[in-house]
Amino acid sequence: MKLKPAQSEVAPGHGGVAAHGARHVAIIMDGNGRWAKKRHMPRVFGHQRGVEAVRRTVRAAREMGLEALTLYAFSTENWRRPEDEIGALMSLLKRFIVDDLDEFAANNVRLKIIGDHSAFAPDVVELIDKALARTRDNDGTTLAIALNYGAQDEIARAAAKAAARGPVTVESIAAELDTADMPPLDLLIRTSGEVRLSNFLLWQAAYAEMCFLDVLWPDFTPDHLAQALADFAQRERRFGGR
């Protein structure tokens, strides 16, 4: 099916919900390794091209009026990957922050981390912390990057904090989640053709709409995002009702 741009944009910074109705979109960015393998290139080449897709998507999310975009960048399970691949991913993360931070600041994008990035090397932690501080007061689109993140760990941490404060309820756990200061998740997209959540935003996805695309992440374009939002706008969300 040919992708068509969604008629959903709102002027950046003007507030209000875009015509597509989504406020918060999350993406499992899957397929970098397979993209590189198809071209007989090392996996790091796929990750490099994946960063370019991230840039396109962040810009498109802002132009399409999203309040929040959450990207699954590095899971708690990704530590099992070869050391050289982890090192390459950290280098790409640092380069992304250095190269794009000025653009985030100029376009009122707030950078947020979900998960525990303190487990990374000190130079990576310092770079992330400075980027968070610089964009903290921005009130446009929030770009949340999941780093050293696992949803089961997030829920366990939130439940422990809730228990320390008093009765454990759905509301008290939700208030302690990493995404507590963000809009509820509306749409979760996964690329690469895989159909699973891979320990990503399990609590937040309880009533989110799902979109699974056959495209590998480096080939993901703003048109794919626009079509996913157009499809979302046609869905009837019941939240357990009729």
Name the residues annotated as catalytic: 30, 78
CA 73/CA 211 separation, integer angstroms? 18
Are the C-beta atoms of residues 220 and 69 closer than 8 Å to each other? no
Contacts 24+ apart (CB under 8 A), 177-180: 177/203, 177/204, 178/114, 178/115, 178/149, 178/154, 179/70, 179/114, 179/144, 179/204
CA–CA gap between residue 70 and residue 30 (Å, rounded): 14
Nearest CA to 189 out of 144, 232, 151, 140 is that of 232
**Residue 110, SS3?**
strand
Could you say which DSSP state residue 184 is in? P
Q: Give the integer Cα–Cα distance in Å for 74 and 29.
A: 10
For 29-40, letters b (16+ CB in 10 Å) and e give: bbbbbbbbeeee
SS3 content of the chain, % helix, strand, coil (to 5): 45, 15, 40
